[in-house]
Amino acid sequence: MGGYKLKSDFGYQIPSDKTGECWAISAHSNGETTIRNGQHAGKTLSELWNNNPELFATDTKRSFPLMVKILDAKDDLSVQVHPDDKFAQLIENDLGKAECWYVLDATPNAQIIYGHNAKSKEEFKEKAKAVKWQELLTKVAVKSGDFFDVPTGTVHALGKGTLILEVQQSSDTTYRLYDYDRRDDKGNLRELHLDKAFSVITAPHEGQNANYNTKQLGEKSFLSALTSNNHFQVAKLELNGSADLTASAPYFLVSVCSGSATLNGITITKGDHFIIPNQIRKLEFEGFATLIIANET
């Protein structure tokens, strides 16, 4: 269901023009990222996390907790829901999957599925089994710059023509509810996970708080807090000139969504993803760019 935008928009080398995901910052066993340059070039993120805990100010033996992806939906993606930590660890031996979406680009009239209108799990289950998806699911129009918080239990799906930056827990656990009855090349329907999905769905849908806390940095730069939960915090930096920040968390995951700039004299440009370690506290930005900055809570 993917396309070619990971190459055309970001210059990434992709295996085909049907590539839907870039795991940009990941230490998950199903897809690890490798450090590109600097003194740790060639190491995987999990190697760095396990062998250099001073970079992250952690001494706890645990998995790297977060992941950053870019998702290119050339077609409507399947309707999904994700479990919380308790359910996922018990059933899947994995973390739960709270996530959030920042819309990088969207074609005219693009939509996502975000939530449902059932008042209870029982009502959701009844309508789903009766294949009343059109009256059950909630569609929302999207445009570039929109943001959606997607807590565990939220019914969701990316729609055709959306390009998304996703920050999430480091998990690959997904329960598929509906896939538009599409068939693969062999004529088979994709596997659904209805029983597990019905167990973890939040009903009624809780929506999101869209009141973002924005503060001005310098004359024309702004930092907006997008979401904060038990797993991560996410902010957007709109850089128009210069901005100075003092790091308040042990480390940060940063994605450059557009433009180019320097950070403490190092050039960063659209498509770059990097981690600011614990040893760097003063952050001096200069340039014109939009960045998404995340940290664990």
Which amino acids are annotated catalytic? Answer: 176
Tell me the C-alpha distance between 24 and 233, whole Å. Answer: 18
Count of other CB atoms within 10 angstroms of residue 49: 20
Cα gap 74→227, rounded to integer Å: 27
SS3 252: strand
Alpha carbon distance 41, 112 (integer Å)? 38
Lookup result for tokens 């167990």: 199
How does strand 111-116 pair with strand 137-141? antiparallel
- Tell me which residue of 214, 3, 197, 232 sits closest to 100, measured CA to CA: 232
Extended strands (E) in the chain: 21-25, 27-28, 31-32, 66-73, 79-81, 99-106, 111-116, 137-141, 147-150, 156-157, 162-169, 175-178, 213-217, 221-228, 232-246, 252-263, 266-269, 273-276, 282-296
CA distances from 24 to 36, 69, 100, 233, 259 (A): 11, 5, 15, 18, 18
